[in-house]
């Protein structure tokens, strides 16, 4: 099966009860056979057909980008949208390969992880101070600019966070200290390019840095990106025993915790009116995972009350009892592979392996095509039966490997 083909759903009753490591291996094999390259969310402006036009139009860009993104079927082949390797996706695939290597001892996974980490190092944005991850690697059109941005122009804390996690894990598992040395330099990116700034509630950072320096648009702030930036500093602080980085990460989490709503969730931005998103599923998962990681690394109860309220909201409002992920606090649909994967990761981090497994079973029943391939989304009346390499494959591979390692650790 080629990367442009989809499959009809098959009977996955046996798959949903199969060993998770086997399902993870199949998921990685699907990606490996395609060199971890595929379509991505909002990648419509990579259309070769659009790029051949002798003019550029903001309205046309938006129509193509949003039309392809929202269509119930995959229009990318018809618009000749280029399939690329996503930076954050490569980091997730690297960590999943490292996990499966630790679980099985098979050198194939170590080799794949090493190749992916080397690609992350080669593809970072060298105009920033310190190591920083590349962006989406395809153009994006927004309402505020007349022309589309260019690939690699923007480097953000989210992709950088996962790249740093991959580097630190590879440094330990593959015994390559140079990876950790490079990751260490990311603190320069966070403090300088992302404009780390103290505030009344703690400290906060920008989501992105523009080519040539800081992104001066310091407001609004993206709450899940701040949580991931805090985790980045905490991971590096713990790895290198640098207390000042741990304290800086803690200060950012203080700010994020202060923005928790009365119901226990987090809006996407501060102020909330700056985004059309409300308390959506996987972004709340990012925040909770970061807080849970703080508790693990710092061995501290500082955010326990925040975590308890957040997990209660996350479980009750953002997931159905059968493990299906709700889109946000008011909408069940679309039920999304990325949200399911983040739920597996978050509940695993919280120690609730039973509910994490329930999400795995729902995902394999509802969105698994077989042969390692996961579909994009289930809508109320239909399913988007195509695959986005980062959104579907990378997240599910990492979620499955995370769950399986935790399950094995619990048995030891």
Domains of the chain, residue spans: 124-318
H/E stretch holding 202 reads strand 202-204
SS3 label, residue 364: helix
> Where on the phi/psi map is residue 195: left (φ > 0), alpha (ψ -120 to 50), or beta?
left
User: pTM for the whole thing?
Assistant: 0.93
| Residue 389 confidence (pLDDT) | 98
Pairing mode of beta strands 197-199, 202-204: antiparallel
377 close to 24: Cβ distance less than 8 angstroms: no
The pLDDT of residue 12: 36
Joined together, the tokens standing for residue 370 give 């077989």
pLDDT in the model for residue 124: 83
How many Å separate Cα 106 from the centre of its chain? 26
Residue whose C-alpha is closest to residue 394's, from 21, 90, 47: 90
Which CA distances in Å does 288 have to 35, 36, 149, 248, 351? 32, 28, 31, 18, 13
Give the list of residues 6+ apart from residue 140 with CB closer than 8 angstroms, or none: 42, 45, 65, 148, 149
Write phi, then psi, for 286 (nearest 5 degrees).
-55, -45
* Structure confidence at residue 150 (pLDDT): 54
* The residue count for the chain: 412
Strand-pair partners of 383: 378
Q: 132 with 186: CB under 8 angstroms?
A: yes
pLDDT at residue number 7: 40
Which pairs count as long-range contacts for 192-195, CB under 8 Å and 24+ apart, including other chains?
Answer: 192/129, 192/130, 193/128, 193/129, 193/130, 193/132, 193/155, 194/157, 194/229
pLDDT at position 218 is 56
> What are the structure tokens assigned to 259, written together?
């923005």
CATH class of 124-318: mainly alpha
Burial 364-379 (b: 16+ CB within 10 A, else e): bbbbbbbebbbbbbbe
The sign one gets for the Cα dihedral 147, 159, 263, 234 is negative
Model pLDDT, residue 109: 98
CB 210 within 8 A of CB 227: no
Report the pLDDT value the prediction gives residue 128, as an integer from 0 to 100.
79
What does each of the 412 residues of the chain score in pLDDT, given as a tens digit?
333 344 443 333 334 445 999 999 999 999 999 999 999 999 999 999 999 999 989 999 999 999 999 999 999 999 999 999 999 999 999 999 999 999 999 999 999 999 999 999 998 877 778 999 877 778 888 877 766 665 555 789 999 999 999 999 999 999 999 999 999 999 999 999 999 999 999 999 999 886 545 555 456 999 999 999 999 999 999 999 999 999 999 999 999 999 999 999 999 999 999 999 999 999 999 999 999 999 999 999 999 999 999 999 999 999 999 999 999 999 999 999 999 999 999 999 999 999 999 999 999 999 999 999 999 999 999 999 999 999 999 999 999 999 999 999 988 6
Residues 6+ apart with CB under 8 A from 209: 128, 132, 154, 155, 156, 189, 193, 194, 215
b/e map of 129-140 (b: 16 or more CB within 10 Å)?
A: bbbbbbbbbbbb
Task: Identify the pLDDT of residue 412.
Answer: 60
Spatial CA neighbour of 20 closest among 367, 286, 364: 364
Query: Nearest to residue 203, comparing CAs of 243, 260, 257?
Result: 257
């Amino acid at each position: 099966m080629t990367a442009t083909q989809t499959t009809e759903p098959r009977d996955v009753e046996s798959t949903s009860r199969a060993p998770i490591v086997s399902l993870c291996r199949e998921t990685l094999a699907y990606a490996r056979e395609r060199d971890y390259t595929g379509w991505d969310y909002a990648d419509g402006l990579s259309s070769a057909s659009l790029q051949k036009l002798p003019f550029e139009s903001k309205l046309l860009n938006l129509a193509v980008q949003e039309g392809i993104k929202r269509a119930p079927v995959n229009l990318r082949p018809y618009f000749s949208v280029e399939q690329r390797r996503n930076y954050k996706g490569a980091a997730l695939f690297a960590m999943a390969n490292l996990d499966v290597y630790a679980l099985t001892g098979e050198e194939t996974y170590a080799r794949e992880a090493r190749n992916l980490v080397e690609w992350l190092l080669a593809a970072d944005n060298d105009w920033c101070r310190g190591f920083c991850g590349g962006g989406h690697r395809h153009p994006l059109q927004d309402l505020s600019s007349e022309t589309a941005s260019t690939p690699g122009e923007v480097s953000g804390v989210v992709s950088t966070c996962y790249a740093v996690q991959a580097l630190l894990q590879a440094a330990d598992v593959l015994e390559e200290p140079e990876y950790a040395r490079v990751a260490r330099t990311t603190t320069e990116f966070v403090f300088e390019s992302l404009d780390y700034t103290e505030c009344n509630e703690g400290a906060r950072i920008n989501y992105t840095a523009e080519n040539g320096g800081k992104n001066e648009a310091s407001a609004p702030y993206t709450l899940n990106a701040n949580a991931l930036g805090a985790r980045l500093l905490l991971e590096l602080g713990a790895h290198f025993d640098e207390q000042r980085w741990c304290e800086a990460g803690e200060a950012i989490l203080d700010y994020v915790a202060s923005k928790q709503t009365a119901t226990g969730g987090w809006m996407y931005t501060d102020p909330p009116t700056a985004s059309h998103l409300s308390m959506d599923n996987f972004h709340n998962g990012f925040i909770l995972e970061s807080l849970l990681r703080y508790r693990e690394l710092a061995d501290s109860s500082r955010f326990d009350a925040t975590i308890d309220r957040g997990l209660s909201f996350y479980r009750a409002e953002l997931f159905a009892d059968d493990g299906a992920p709700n889109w946000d606090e008011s909408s069940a649909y679309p039920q999304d592979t990325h949200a399911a994967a983040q739920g597996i990761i978050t509940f695993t981090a919280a120690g609730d392996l039973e509910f994490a497994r329930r999400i795995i079973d729902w995902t394999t029943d509802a969105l698994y095509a077989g042969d390692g391939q996961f579909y994009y989304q289930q809508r109320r009346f239909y399913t988007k039966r195509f695959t986005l390499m980062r959104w579907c494959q990378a997240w599910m591979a990492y979620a499955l490997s995370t769950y399986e390692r935790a399950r094995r650790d619990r048995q030891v």
